Structure 1
Amino acid sequence: MKSAEVKVNDILVKYIVKPVIEPAFSLVFVHGFPFDKSMWHDQLANLPVNVQGIAYDVRGLGESESGSKFVNMNVLAEDLIGFIKALNLTNVVVCGISMGGYIILRTLQLEPKWFKAIILSDTTSFADTNESKLNRFAGIETLQNSGTEVYAENSLKNLFAKSTFDSQPGAVSKIREAIFRNSVDGMCATLLALASRTDTTDVLERITVPTLIMRGEEDQIIKSEQANDLHEKIGGSELVIIPSAGHLPNLENARAFNSAVANFLSKNFLLASG
């Protein structure tokens, strides 16, 4: 694994890559909010041997620059397209969790040609409800008045399954530290982008590439109905429920998450799952 950076749409984007000399394709990971590329370390380390894995920091989070303080989902989608172009990636599979899924679905609305396959974890095509928008605004107030530490502690209890706090304390610490590393301005700008995002349900029936949908069985944020809706509307998609996991199954039950990804890739690209 190595760290690198690239200029995308006038900002510097930091990323980590598991390089492969002659990759069958590249798997680009898009993290959730308010995390960073470090949440994908286990997935990068366990990809099939001929798959290049790349995880980048979304603008304003992690180590990537923020550019303008006013961000919307179109900007984040255009960043994903720009990132793929800047690295001259071909045969791209994309995997997004939570906000990462929102970015992928918006990218599909803008330019559907970029992906050979899609993995969506613990995400939805629906826009925020009024209650969710108000929660985002309350989060902005917390960040501005109390900083990232208080915001992190308020968030953690909803992100993980109850059992994770005892069985996977390292996963909880990883996310807590990722939130601490983010700037207040970057997080506030992203919260506004999330609150203002529009519905992307119309794109689901137009998705024709292989699609894997995953959800942590104990996710308190994305309900089972939302995952089922994605599965029903995306023709030929596969739905996998990850046991003993909440909103972040790639960390809470990495073995099951990685196995589902490897099986999906092997099934659709004739790869050895190892």
Structure 2
Amino acid sequence: MQKIRINGRNMSYLDVGQGPVVVFGHSYLWDSVMWQPQIEALSKQYRCIVPELWAHGQSDAAPASTNTLVDYADDILSLMDHLDIEQFALVGLSVGGMWGTELVLKAPTRVKALVLMDTFVGYEPEVAKAKYVAMFNTIEQLETVPPAMIDAITPLFFANDAEQDNPELVAGFKAMLAGLSGEKAKAIVRIGRMVFDRRDTFDDIEKLTLPTLIMVGAEDKPRPPLESMLLHDAIHGSEFVLIPKAGHISNLEQPEFVNEALTRFLAKSVA
């Protein structure tokens, strides 16, 4: 891992491989390790950069100046400027797709191709948002994630049969949640509120003219396929791929399928 100082805080990031640059945005409650299968496959021909979201992985808590996903897009542009990278492709899953879209809207000439995975850039539905806010309030109060909440959160991230098909993956995620405590837990909650209080950029995405691939796990619960289909309909010329037997963290549940789709898309979209 490497680190960069942005607005008084350290952001950690991976920088692996050589060639055209591909920036990866990971999911909320995950970190750069989430992209390991894709880095292994793609770093042979691309320079893969994976910033870790504030309060995730080895990154510090968010700076006081970062209060929205628009602000975070600015932070990533600061990283790209620091690395002297003018143009890049962007692959974002979940919140990675949300801030990734904000970055494209902010600096359209810098992003050559966009992959949106298991994400949605409209408002968070009110019923779901209320449920998440209640969880955040509890975590902030207790400064930990109680066992019952871990059991409620975990199934949201995986396919229906994940406990038997990917037991180590599920167990690792549960262990990570159980290990959150104190200031780290509160810093994670602050990022969660940014995610679910995001602005509605759905009307803006009609302006996107870059090559765009939209992928979603067929069994994604928090970001169901219908949302990705709406994105596909709104972004002219975009491609849509449904990932079988995958939930929200589709790239880890079906890595070979996702790697093939990314390889195919990037080969024709990124010089």
TM-score scaled by length of structure 1: 0.90
- Partner in structure 2 of residue 49 of structure 1: 44
Determine whether 1:81 maps to 2:70: no
Aligned equivalent of 1:137? 133
- After superposition, residues 71-220 of structure 1 pair within 5 angstroms as 71-146=67-142, 147-148=144-145, 150=147, 151-180=149-178, 183-220=184-221
Taking a change above 3 Å as real, the CA distance of residues 255 and 160 of structure 1, as seen in their structure-2 partners, is same
Rounded to whole Å, the distance in 2 between the matches of 1:171 and 1:79 is: 30
CA distance in 2, matches of 1:186, 1:229: 32
Query: Residue in 2 aligned with 1:4?
Result: 2
CA distances 1:28-79 after superposition (whole Å, capped 9, x unpaired): 1111111111111111111062201111111122211122297222221211
What is aligned with 1:228?
A: 229
Which sits farther off after the overlay, 189-198 or 238-247? 189-198
Of 35, 47, 65, the residue aligned with 2:60 is 65
1:266–1:34 distance in 2 versus 1, CA, 3 Å? same
Structure 2: state its 5+ residue gaps. none
Amino acid at match of 2:2: A
After the TM superposition, which of the residue ranges 244-253 and 161-170 deviates more from structure 2?
161-170
Equivalents in 2 of 1:89, 1:173: separation in Å?
Answer: 37
Deviations 1:128-155 (A, max 9, x none): 1221221221111231244135343321
Q: Identity over the aligned pairs, expressed in percent?
A: 25
Match of 1:38 in 2: 33
Deviations 1:83-118 (A, max 9, x none): 211211233011111111111112233332221100
Q: Tell me the alpha carbon deviations over residues 207-226 of structure 1, each in whole angstroms, 9 at most, x when there is no partner.
A: 11111100001111112221
Equivalent-residue separation in structure 1 for 2:251 and 2:60 (angstroms): 25
Cα distance in 2 between the residues matched to 1:178 and 1:117: 32
Instruction: State the alpha-carbon separation in 2 of the partners of residues 61 and 78 from structure 1.
Output: 18
Confirm or deny: 8 A CA contact 2:54 2:60 kept in the other structure: yes
Please name the residue that 1:246 is paired with.
247
Count of residues in correspondence between the two structures: 265
* 2:265 alignment counterpart: 264
Q: What's the CA shift for 1:172?
A: 1.6
Structure 1 CA distance, aligned partners of 2:179 and 2:17? 26
Supply the distance in 2 between the matched residues of 1:226 and 1:236 (Cα, whole angstroms). Answer: 17
* Alpha-carbon distance in 2 for matches of 1:41, 1:175: 15
- Return 5+ residue gaps in structure 1 as ranges: none
Instruction: Say what the alpha-carbon RMSD is for the aligned residues.
Output: 1.9
Letter in structure 2 aligned against 1:252: E
Instruction: Verify the 8 A CA contact 1:102 1:123 in the aligned structure 2.
Output: yes
Cα distance 1:70–1:19, how it changes in 2: closer, same or farther (>3 A)? closer
How many Å apart are 1:195 and its aligned residue?
Answer: 2.7
1:210 aligned partner, one-letter code: P
One-letter code aligned to 1:36: D
Question: What code does the residue aligned with 1:55 have?
Answer: V
